[in-house]
Structure 1
Amino acid sequence: MFEQLYDVSEQTNVHFVGFITDRARYDFSIVFTNQFFGKPLVICMQTGKSTLFCLEDLSNLDDLQQAFLLQDPKAAEELQSFLMSRLPSLDVRDQY
C-alpha cells in the first residue's frame, strides 16, 4: 500500500551538454521543469548522479563536489563556472 503524493506530466526543455577541460570530460543533461520550485534537474550522464540546482546553489562548492562525487576541487570550480552560465537565478520567494 502507498499514498501517492503527486502524479504530474509536463512538457519540459532538456539541454544535453558536453564539454572537456584540462582535467576532465563532462556530459550533462539539464531538465528545465516547473516542478521543484522551478529548479532545474542537473544529471551527470557519466555517473547517473543528479541534483536540483539553481544559480544560487552553486555558491556552495562543497555541495557541488558532493553531488557529483568530484574529488578534485579544481574540477568542481570548472563545473561551477560552466553551470553558472546555464542555470537560472531563482528568488527565494519563488522557491517557497
Structure 2
Amino acid sequence: MEIFDKLYDEHEKVTVRFVGFTTESTRYDFGVIYTNMFFGKPLVVCMQTGRSTLLDSNDIEDIDHLQQVFRIPNKEQATDLADFFRESIPVIPFETQYE
C-alpha cells in the first residue's frame, strides 16, 4: 500500500559554485546550485548556517526577504549581500509551468 503520491523524482547533473567573500563587517560562504528545477531559480545555501533559499533577480531586490532568510542582523549587511547576488545570480525570465 502506497502512503504517498510521488510528485517528482528527477536526477540531473547540475553546476555548483562555491564562493566565499567578506564585506567590511561580515564573512559569507555560499553554495549556489544551478538547476533546471524550481523554475530555473538557483538554490543558494549559506555554508555557515545551512539556511537556503531559491533566488532570482526579483527575490534579490527584496532586502527584507534576504535579511529574514539568512538571519542577517541589519539592513546594511543585507544590502551588501544583495549587491553580491546581483552580480552573481543570472537573470532568468520566469516561466510558469502551471496554467
TM-score for the superposition, normalised by structure 2: 0.90
Matched with 2:15 is 13
Query: Which one has a bigger Cα radius of gyration?
Result: 2
Residues 80 and 95 of structure 1, relative CA distance in 2, 3 Å threshold: farther
**CA apart distance, 1:95:** 4.2
SS of residue matched to 2:4: coil
Percent identity between matched residues is 44
RMSD of aligned residue pairs (Cα, Å): 1.1
Gaps of 5+ in 2: none
TM-score for the superposition, normalised by structure 1: 0.93
Contact map agreement 1:56 1:89 (CA 8 A) in 2: no
Give every structure 1 segment of 4 or more consecutive aligned residues whose post-TM-superposition deviation is greater than 6 Å.
Answer: none
Count of equivalent residues: 95
Q: How does 1:22-61 map to 2 (within 5 A)?
A: 22-61=24-63
Contact map agreement 1:56 1:90 (CA 8 A) in 2: no
Matched with 1:89 is 91
Gaps of 5+ in 1: none
**CA apart distance, 1:91:** 2.1
Q: Deviations over 1:26-58 (max 9, x none)?
A: 000000000001000000000100000011211
Contact map agreement 1:19 1:26 (CA 8 A) in 2: yes
